[in-house]
Structure 1
Amino acid sequence: MSGLLALLDDVASIAKVAAASVDDVIGQAAKAGAKAAGAVIDDAAVTPKYVQGFDASREIPIVWRIAKGSFFNKLVILLPAALLLSAFAPWAIPPLLMLGGAYLCFEGAEKVAHLFGGHHEADEAASGDPTHLEEQKVAGAIKTDFILSAEIMTIVLAALPPGGIVMKAASLAAAGSGITVLVYGGVAAIVKADDLGVLMSLRGRLAVTRALGRGIVHGMPRFLKLLAAVGTAAMIWVGGAIVIHGLYELGWGWLHHHIHDIAVAVAARVPQAPGLVEWIVTAFFDGLFGLALGLALIPVATRIIAPAWRLVARLRPRARPHR
């Protein structure tokens, strides 16, 4: 009996340690995932456009296919790569973060330039084979998700406290899985909200229910535009902040110090909420820098990188068809 009691006591101790480890993993994943909020918002804002123009019955299957691709990107490709970087090349994390931040600035600035330039994307799903178009849309969405997921996982990795590789792997997996569920669960709810509104407006028993349904139907286009604007702003702001912080870590911190000094000086004039004011001013200048950097990168990407990439693609040997 004494041996059994000792065994049960050992089991209880192990269970307590395991529970504490789970709490640590979830806590670290939540804190680190919050650092990637800007990229997460942009991921949620970008994805709904990939189901526009398709039949309502295909919306959830398309979102699910993209979500599966996102899980594969984060857990199978990016998580091992992040752990290898952390173990063998931690010095490479800040430059990679800056590269991803510059890409976010470029993407956001390109959207702003298209908005003011009167450019509007054509609806590719309006014509052609729906199956082929769906394959193209899903493939494009998964490629975009890979870039955003790489940025998210790198931000999460940089935000994790020092620890063993098992704890880092568990925290990265928890953060990546939680973010994916949050993003694509939200996207699924967004793309089906208009269907819910139609159902409420037609079958609602109460007048207020039918009115709410009509409000959802009429309000969703505006909401999607607002979501896209928020995603673009978050992309530019987060990208700018990442680049500025990376420059600071590499020893070029003059811009970081100037923004900090300005934010502190402005916050001192508003003693009621100095912390909030300092954050707003810092975010404003981070976003302003991100927009300027993104606009500067547009000609570099369109006139140098894109032509060079097309040249490389043409020079690659093509596979010969099997006879």
Structure 2
Amino acid sequence: MQASSTCGRLRSLPTLQRRMLMAAPVGRNSSLHPSTSSSTLFSSAGSLVANGAAVSSGGTAAAAVPATAGPATALADITAAPVPVDFLSIRGVLFDVDGTLVESDPLHFRAFQEILAEVGFDGGRPIDEAFFRRHISGRHNPEIAADLFPEWDEDRRTAFYLDKEERYRRLAAAGLEPLEGLREFLEWVRQRGLRTAAVTNAPRANAEMMLAALGIESCFEHLVLGEECTRAKPHPDPYLIAMELLGLTPGESVVFEDSPSGVAAGVAAGAPVIALTTGQDPAILQQAGACWIVRNFRDVMAAIQAAEAEADSTTRGRGDGSVSESR
């Protein structure tokens, strides 16, 4: 299924616009090991949740997402929380790609598992999904390689992650499917004339391949790559650049993410972040600063439809034909 041609034209970030005010290096963990019980790689730069309230895109307080005890927590309990984003007042939507538009993490996990075993990481023992989620998912390739192999030189690290990405593209060539409800949400975004950007730490070849495979590349005005910014996620640079390109403020934007590093980046940029549970424990996503946690875009569309129905009811209740303020 191809996306509507009216979505717009995908534009990449011009080289001369790849800039940010700060250029501090990302910290590295030289003692990374699969048996590490905790990680400091994903420290959030801030949180939208404070004193039991989450800040909505309109600047008003809403009930925070309930705390979760782990993956056994019922997602229905999470998505039943009041929605802290006013979808009827936002002007732009910023999307991560891997794990957000498409459930690609299983393919990335398989590619990393294979190549790490081949190069003898941790004695050749295959990494498990917990290690992948904690130390790899959503992060920038150079940082991943530096943490996994601090003793390697830069050329060897680069060859390692380029090989890994080639493996991923071969696996993805068999076919990718959009996350549930994504096409319906993108159509709603198009109908409302909202500004859009895809913001990712994935290499350009991967990002363009995934968007094209899904037939949705025309639905994004800009593709902002972490590797083309001064700093990639978890720093806010990619999201701040996307907002600048679209002429948006953080309060006019909403970010969709699936990884702790991506959530932290959106939060640090000042936008409300909705997290999808395609590859992470909901509690980890909340800890990173997500203001709302959902399974897929069907949950998002359900919330939007409820908000629209309430707005229509309010308008009819006035009986004067005026348009609801939430519109």
Instruction: Give the alignment's TM-score, normalised by structure 2.
Output: 0.25
Greater helix proportion: 1
Greater strand proportion: 2
Asked which structure has the greater CA Rg, the reply is 1
Instruction: Give the alignment's TM-score, normalised by structure 1.
Output: 0.25
